[in-house]
Amino acid sequence: MSLNAPALSATVKSPLDLIGRTPMVEVTKIDTGKCRLLLKLESQNPGGSIKDRIAVEMLDAAEREGWLKEGGTIVEATAGNTGLALTLVGRARGYKVLLVIPDKMSKEKIQHLRAMGADVRLTRSDVPHGHPEYYTDMAERLAQAIPGAYYVNQFANQSNAEAHVKTTGPEIWEQTGGDIDAFVAGIGSGGTITGVARYLKSVGSNAQIILADPVGSTLAGIVNEGVPGPDGSYTVEGIGQNFVPDTADMSLIDKAYSIPDAEAIATARELLLKEGILAGSSSGTLIATALRWCREQTEPKTCVTFVCDTGAKYLSKVYNDAWLADQGLGERELHGDLSDLINRKYERGDVVVAGPGDTLDTAFKRMKGADVSQLPIIEDGRLVGILDESDLVHVMNTDEITRKERFAKPVADAMTRDLDTLQVKEPLDALIPVFDRDRVAIVLDGEKFVGLITRTDLINHLSLNR
């Protein structure tokens, strides 16, 4: 144990007592140029993100003002982390929680929220602010319709920024001993960058306030050119907007960087590989921005940013190679043949398979676990058949034996041996007749199984390679 390890805190009565006072760690294995890059680990909050801080402050204010009363319902529009924080704090105080979440958010966040007892309503992520199905508009409408509901509205709630004036800013100042030349944050609701910037300026700091913005968000353009940047889509969650939230004071920001999804995700993955820190996608955007700033400096300086939340909430996305390939974000070599459509290749171990001697029960469990509707059947390294859901249904309905006996049947009794195979060098057009027969395309290189192509794979390939 290090002699410099911090003293352990005393036992507390509630996880809420552990919010804040998060540790700070220096980046030592990634190139930061002449600068020191310090990461404040907001992922160490009990709810797993920096949003725990604002949940306490906003609900305290709502209770003081009488907007939220016993038996009431907390309603909020959220990318997930504010919802987790409000559920953590709100449920501990006896409130019901209803959350409206855009449908691009990770399934881990949604499952986490529902497990904590939140009522989660998914809405469209492809509509602009002002559309009735935009998440803030939908949340406000629901709150007006529910007796005793309180719409938190983190995007215009001044307690959002105040939480960071009271806690995050002072902690950063204390942990750096006032030695801070740049502070990097994103804008989701705007409270973090606004609150920390206000505190730093209040204590006389000259630190540059840097906005980390995803490409596709309009906010970097407002900072750098005075006009909104190009509006587009991006996969990073929790930061970036096509409007300026009321909570955000843009006049406090000195400079902005626009970070592509691929750079943000690559940075998050590099952070895990080199520093051992599991961070989410928005943290990748922040740290990529901080690294750009650090590498531009010609003399030693200190930059501070956040690990906003834990990457455990993004294992199905940021840390999933197949998902990245589906989004066109993974680094992959294109061959100009059908293999370009196959993100899950058999030779890499990406494809879930079964053997002809496996039971249907085993095959079905693998299909469910991998969320696929068909399994290649491999024997001695060769493709000998394919099993899909219709094959299973056919077996279930063909005789009078018990359910247990049906699932104990070998895969060989149910699999399809008449395979629609294509050679990897065949053109895209060769897929259409296969799909017209309502089959999945099985791609071979000679006799070697390469992988499967579905209609969705073809559509995704055409969408990404227009």
Element (H, E) at 378: strand 374-379
Report residue 7 as tokens.
């003293």
Q: How far apart are CA 321 and CA 343, in angstroms?
A: 8
> How are beta strands 302-307 and 182-185 bridged, if at all?
parallel
Joined tokens for residue 42: 């907001």
- Give the single-character DSSP code of 187: -
Tell me the HSE value of 119 on the side-chain side, using a 13 A CA sphere: 11
Catalytic residue (one of 281, 282, 283, 339): 282
Query: Is 51 marked active-site?
Result: yes
Closest to 309 (Cα-Cα) out of 76, 151, 78: 78
Quick one: tokens of 129?
A: 């602010």
339 is known as an active-site residue: no
List, in order, residues 6 or more apart from 273 with CB less than 8 Å away. Answer: none
Gap between the Cα atoms of 59 and 82, Å rounded:
12
Selecting among 40, 49, 51, 317, the annotated active-site residue is 51
SS3 173: helix
Other CB atoms within a 10 A radius of the CB of residue 429 amount to 7
- For the annotated catalytic residues, the residue numbers are 51, 282
